[in-house]
Structure 1
Amino acid sequence: MLLATLALRVGKPVERDELITAIWPDDPPPSAQATLRGYVKRLRRVLMTGAGEEISAVRATDGGYVLCLPEDNVDLVRFRRLVALAAVRRDVYGELPLLQRALALWRGPAFVDVSSPALRPGVVNTLHEEYLRAREREVEIRLRLGQYGWLIPELAALVADNPLRETLWYQLVLALHLNGRQAEALAHYESLRELLADSLGTDPSPLMRDLHQRILSGKPMRTAC
């Protein structure tokens, strides 16, 4: 929890009170300040070079501590940098590999093994939203490049994990349609319609309804990037 809180703002001081709240969100012990110093010492020992020499990775400041590591040592920083680089590319062939490098840094949900309520739901939900936006853009490009069959199982898994994310449903239905699996595409649209009605009391978006009508009418589809 200490490392996660510091890593979120690598290179920037984090107040002791904030660190204490992250570690003991409900009832900090009277010894919290001393125990925090002990945790910092332990963390410094963990962050050692291959030669066994301790590095000053966690430094004390006037009011707290700062994680002093190159920013590229933190996956989140690398992810955001790669996504930003991808966003300014003018061609999908240059954008796609940058997005894929960024997404490859994710090995599971953010902070899945960090139990601090201080990081949930705000921080975790924000990071998950960043991941999904990058993933949706990567899928959008791959749809344009004709990778329909490869994308279907990936999108099915993403929809299962994010059932109210309509953009993913749209991409799944579109991929099925472009792959010649119209019956499955229509069945998934119906599943989405029922889910939205039961969960939110709403209908699919106009964009989703337009896709549905195009599938029913047999109109050709184009993917946009």
Structure 2
Amino acid sequence: MSRAALRWRALGPLRAVRDGRDTTPTAPKVRQVLALLLARRNTVVPLTVITEELWSGRAPRSALTTVQTYAYQLRRALQDGEEPADPADGPLVTHPHGYLLRVEPDEYDAEEFTALTGAARTALACDDLTAAETLTGRALDLWEGPLFADVAHGPLLRGYALRMGELHLQAQEMRITAGLRLGRHRELVGDLKELACAHPLHEWFQGTLIIALQRCGRRSEALDVYQQLRVALRDELGLDPSPGLQRLRQHVLTDKVSTADLDLLPG
């Protein structure tokens, strides 16, 4: 089987697609093994690491044998239920103390997402706003939901999912930064309202919504956003908005808001 025919999807539901056909295993533990091997792709994942992910320190006595069974089932699923003539030819490679999943960079959506986000960060640092906006847009188009959304997460997958979730937030921030600096504040208001609603204590999203609203001539709405943030921070955390947000509020009151105010926001 050509490894190039495989496509791995982790940004949302887990999927393994071969020549347009879904070859994702259905058994929950086998899916969890596949997710872990994708997270640690192209490196040997020791059996002890796999057992820790599957059972979180409460592995049964038969754990090693059970993992080997899961690996056998995974290999068959990825081969469309067929036994490979030579197991070394498939994507799943057996090593004396673990397993390795061979994945090319252009086969895995999470790796593509990471590369696009990194390129966007470089473009933004070079003040290439159009490229940054395009690259983050391409990255965010790949995101269909939380990482491995339909797979149980043990300690290792939880950490990987948290890291990718942070990268997703950074991609959104870069897209918004580029868009605001390109003067697309009207187009961004809807997205920013959704993000501000989903992250009510996230001062950066709240602050960029304030900037976008003010630049659209919607000063009262911008002040309402600030007030709602102030109340939420005080009620839930006993804190006031950051000094940068307080200065932004003053700029709203004096009609001096500009994209330079992005530098006032925390983060």
User: Separation in 1 of the partners of 2:83 and 2:70?
Assistant: 19
1:115 to 146, 152, 165: 152
Aligned to 1:88, the other structure's residue is in SS state helix
User: Separation in 2 of the partners of 1:120 and 1:73?
Assistant: 20
* Contact kept? 2:39, 2:160, Cα under 8 Å: no
CA offset digits 1:103-139 (Å, max 9, x no partner): 2111011222121232464332222111101110111
- Residue 52 of structure 2 is matched in structure 1 by 21
The residue correspondences of 1:45-194 to structure 2 (distance < 5 A) are: 45-48=76-79, 54=84, 56-89=90-123, 90=126, 91-119=128-156, 121-194=158-231
* Contact kept? 1:58, 1:67, Cα under 8 Å: yes
* Contact kept? 1:155, 1:171, Cα under 8 Å: yes
Gaps of 5+ in 1: none
Identity, in percent, stands at 34
CA offset digits 1:149-177 (Å, max 9, x no partner): 22122112212222222111111111111
Going from structure 1 to structure 2, the CA distance change for 1:123 and 1:14 (only over 3 Å counts) comes to same
TM-score for both structures, normalised by structure 2: 0.77
Question: Aligned-pair distance for 1:193?
Answer: 0.6
* Contact kept? 1:20, 1:28, Cα under 8 Å: yes
* Contact kept? 1:25, 1:116, Cα under 8 Å: no
Equivalent AA in structure 2 for residue 162 of structure 1: H
Runs of 4+ with deviation above 4 angstroms = 52-55
TM-score for both structures, normalised by structure 1: 0.90
User: Separation in 1 of the partners of 2:117 and 2:52?
Assistant: 31
The residue correspondences of 1:8-47 to structure 2 (distance < 5 A) are: 8-47=39-78
Q: CA RMSD in A?
A: 2.0
Worse overlay, 53-62 or 82-91 = 53-62
Aligned to 1:104, the other structure's residue is in SS state helix
* Contact kept? 1:151, 1:175, Cα under 8 Å: yes
Give the count of matched residue pairs.
223
Higher relative contact order (CA 8 A, sep 6+): 2
Equivalent AA in structure 2 for residue 6 of structure 1: L
Going from structure 1 to structure 2, the CA distance change for 1:181 and 1:134 (only over 3 Å counts) comes to same
Gaps of 5+ in 2: 1-31
* Contact kept? 1:13, 1:64, Cα under 8 Å: yes
